Amino acid sequence: MPKNSPTASLRHEREYFALGYHYIFGIDEAGRGPWAGPVSAGAVCLPLERADLHKVLAGVRDSKQLTPGARSRLVSRIQETALAWGVGSAGHAEIDDLGIVPAVKLAMRRALDQALAGADFSPACLFLDAMLWPEMAHIPQVSLIGGDTRSLSIAAASILAKVWRDEYMTKLDAELPQYGFAIHKGYGTKRHQAALEAYGPSPVHRRTFAPVRKYLPET
């Protein structure tokens, strides 16, 4: 499928489904790089036996390629279509305590646990975006570079994770309006930099991240 296709591919899922992996969970994260707020993850298991699945989920692709409105409109369609889905997160304090990579894996585990809470089946395989998950090595895994473009399952997970996190950061903006979280979602924009310079780190900033750490009071 062309790289800029309006819908992510199902080719890899179809191949593994044919090999007997019927319950494939796509997992992806959002918010690894921001200076503030949580990291989130989505986990989605699609009904791969559906011949019309690609049509039903038309437009689902890498969340970064979609407008906020398009992402929001696709969330309910993904949730209604999926056999199971979940969203998990790890907060700023957990990121500071554990490090960003372990925190990403914690959010992924929480997303998978939520997805499986109401399911009567176990994951046959995990589709991950350019990573492997050694802590879950008992489940077969497929690491796809550019996975949110090459796998519809991963793309769906990326949308759930991104929309959840954006909504969370918008709520934080109501509590901490001086930082502009509703606009930049905690990423390192010039506006965010200026707010840090003016007000210092907020309670939800990631204190172990270098752009934030330099504004902390010396102890």
Return the HEC string of 115-165: HHHCCCCCCCEEEEECCCCHHHCCCCEEEECCHHHHCHHHHHHHHHHHHHH
Q: What is the pLDDT of residue 219?
A: 54
Host domain of residue 66 = 11-170
Task: Tell me whether residue 159 is in a domain.
Answer: yes
- What CATH number did the domain enclosing 41 receive? 3.30.420.10
Mean of the per-residue pLDDT values of the chain = 95
Task: Tell me whether residue 157 is in a domain.
Answer: yes
Residues 6+ apart with CB under 8 A from 193: 211
pLDDT band, very low/low/confident/very high, at 218 (cuts 50, 70, 90): confident
Read off the pTM.
0.95
- The predicted model gives 67-76 an average pLDDT of 96
Task: Tell me whether residue 190 is in a domain.
Answer: no
Concatenating the DSSP letter of every residue in 49-116 gives: T-TTHHHHTTT---GGGS-HHHHHHHHHHHHHH-SEEEEEEE-HHHHHHH-HHHHHHHHHHHHHHHHH
Task: Tell me whether residue 189 is in a domain.
Answer: no
Q: What is the pLDDT of residue 4?
A: 54
Q: 132-176, pLDDT tens digit by residue?
A: 999 999 999 999 999 989 999 999 999 999 999 999 999 999 999
Q: What is the pLDDT of residue 197?
A: 96
Closest CA to 28 of 184, 119, 187, 146: 146
Has residue 1 got a pLDDT over 80?
A: no
Q: What is the pLDDT of residue 2?
A: 42
Task: Look at the alpha carbons of 108, 111, 113, 116 in this order and tell me if their dihedral is positive or negative.
Answer: negative
Q: What is the tally of structural domains in the chain?
A: 1
Task: Tell me whether residue 203 is in a domain.
Answer: no
Task: Tell me whether residue 218 is in a domain.
Answer: no
Task: Tell me whether residue 105 is in a domain.
Answer: yes
Task: Tell me whether residue 98 is in a domain.
Answer: yes
- Give the H/E segment covering residue 16: helix 11-18
